[in-house]
Amino acid sequence: WGELGHQTIAYIATNLVSSATQTKFQSILGDTSGDYLATVSTWADTYRYTDAGTWSAPLHFIDANDSPPSSCDVEYSRDCGSTGCVVAAIKNYTSRVSSTSLSASDVKTAAKFVGDIHQPLHDENLDLGGNEIDVTFGGTSTNLHHIWDTNMPEKYVGGYGLSDAKSWAATLTKSIKTGSYESEAASWLDGIELSDAVTTAMSWANEANAYVCSTVMPDGISAVEDTDLSGTYYTKAMPVIELQIARAGYRLAAWLDLIVTGST
Ligand code: DCM
Ligand code: DCM
Ligand code: ZN
């Protein structure tokens, strides 16, 4: 996701964590404002483009070697790769957090990776997660990965500042608590297990990867390549983007609560 997606996920989590979790993370991050998670949620994106952080680039995704649109699935042993992947990253940071004291960079990293695993094209190998599939969006030349990360969320919300993220998060938090997601939200935590981060994160990866077949490219690459996707395609994609952002925020809150308090 781009800045808007990550910051929205962070604000949803901020709205949902326990007060013990909030106090703990505000202290670690040295920020007692309500923006303590949102302002660090894109740090890992900046870091991976620095010389010191090049090693971390593969930790933002897992390249499923499946065959969309006819067959979608992610397998840890087949797809994680020798340089690591987002599932291994969530496992490593979680175990580090449990075995030693929590550092600010661990928190920043966790916030980012739980978000990214919910972007369907971060769970897909084909054409570098869609980065090599050229498309246009409202006349702008871009690629399929980028419109899922950025163009579609920004068109929907109308901006990408912290205030835009905060208001989208308020809407989605309300949907979770008392609206359209209320009846299903508890099931988003099915199988969540702090002591088995790989199985937990793989279930999130498989759920997101399934949208590659159903929504991202249901009719294959040729149906989207060199096509403007700001019309019907966008209309069909947006409910999936909203659902995935809501799930990511809800699960991030639960994961942070598990780390701090041992229960969700
Ligand atoms: N950014 C974004 N959406 C945009 C433009 C930029 O999320 N429409 C992000 C990407 C970078 C940061 O903002 O992380 C700064 O981008 P730039 O320097 O390209 O303006
Ligand atoms: N990306 C991905 N899968 C890949 C390669 C990249 O999901 N195999 C993601 C990471 C960034 C975006 O695509 O969100 C652009 O990557 P880069 O900046 O490395 O081109
Ligand atoms: Zn991306």
Ligand 2 contact via 124 beta carbon (within 6 Å): no
User: Strand pairing partners for 237?
Assistant: none
**Helix, strand, or coil here: 228?**
strand
Task: Report the pLDDT value the prediction gives residue 98, as an integer from 0 to 100.
Answer: 63
Question: How far is 43 from 112, CA to CA, in rounded Å?
Answer: 8
Task: Report the pLDDT value the prediction gives residue 97, as an integer from 0 to 100.
Answer: 66
Ligand 2 contact via 6 beta carbon (within 6 Å): no
- Among protein residues, the one with the nearest Cα to ligand 1's atom 15 is 3
Any idea which residue has 């929205």 for tokens?
8
Nearest ligand to the CA atom of 57:
2
Residue-wise pLDDT tens digits, 149-163: 999 999 999 999 999
Ligand 3 is an ion; residues with CB less than 5 A from it: 149
- Among protein residues, the one with the nearest Cα to ligand 2's atom 7 is 122
| Atom from ligand 1 closest to the CA of residue 2 | 7
**Which of the residues in the chain have pLDDT under 70?**
97-100
> Please, is 178 exposed, middle or buried when counting C-beta atoms within 10 Å of its C-beta (0-12, 13-18, 19+)?
exposed
What ipTM did this prediction achieve?
A: 0.78
Ligand 1 contact via 160 beta carbon (within 6 Å): yes
Question: How far is 124 from 207, CA to CA, in rounded Å?
Answer: 12
